[in-house]
Amino acid sequence: MAREELTRLTGNVDDPECSKNDCPNLYRTKSGSIVVQGDISEAFQPPQGEALVEIPEAILKEAVRALGW
């Protein structure tokens, strides 16, 4: 799936700090699931084929507002 196929829920695309799409963000897929972009976390070892990422709480709150939840 290409990033262009996702709806970005967070992040100011005009922010020079995130101009290369390298900041933590949440995206929504066409099927309604959420894709998380963040820093790799080593809190525990997830099952094979899964990964852990960390995102700031503010990013999650921004996504909730964007979704109207």
Query: DSSP assignment of 30-53, as one string?
Result: TTS-EEEE-EE--SS-PPTT---E
Share of the chain above pLDDT 70, in %: 86
Domain range for residue 38? 3-67
Cα–Cα distance, 21 to 17 (Å, whole number): 9
Q: Which residue would you say has higher pLDDT here, 11 or 44? A: 44
Strand duo 25-28 + 7-8: pairing: antiparallel
What local confidence, expressed as pLDDT, does residue 13 receive? 62
Domain count for the chain: 1
Average pLDDT along the chain: 88
**Residue 54 near residue 33, CB atoms below 8 Å:** no
Phi, psi of 3, rounded to the nearest 5 degrees:
-55, -35
- Provide the whole-model pTM: 0.79
